[in-house]
Amino acid sequence: MPVRGIRGATTISQDTETEVLEATVEILEEIRVANPSLQPEDIASAFFTVTSDIRSAFPARAAEKNGWRNVPRICAQEIPVEGSTPYCIRVLLLWNTDLRQDEIRHIYIKGARNLRPDLIESQT
Residues annotated within the binding site for prephenate are 7, 90, 108
* pTM of the complete model: 0.92
Least Cα distance to 62 among 114, 23, 9 occurs for: 23
Mean pLDDT of the chain: 92
pLDDT at residue 115 tops 90: no
Which position has the higher pLDDT, 124 or 84?
A: 84
What the chain holds in terms of domains, given with CATH numbers, is: 3-121 (3.30.1330.40)
Binding site as annotated, residues: 7, 90, 108
CA pair distance 94, 76, nearest whole angstrom: 16
With cut-offs at 50, 70 and 90, classify the pLDDT of residue 60: very high
pLDDT of residue 114: 84
Identify the H or E element spanning 83: none
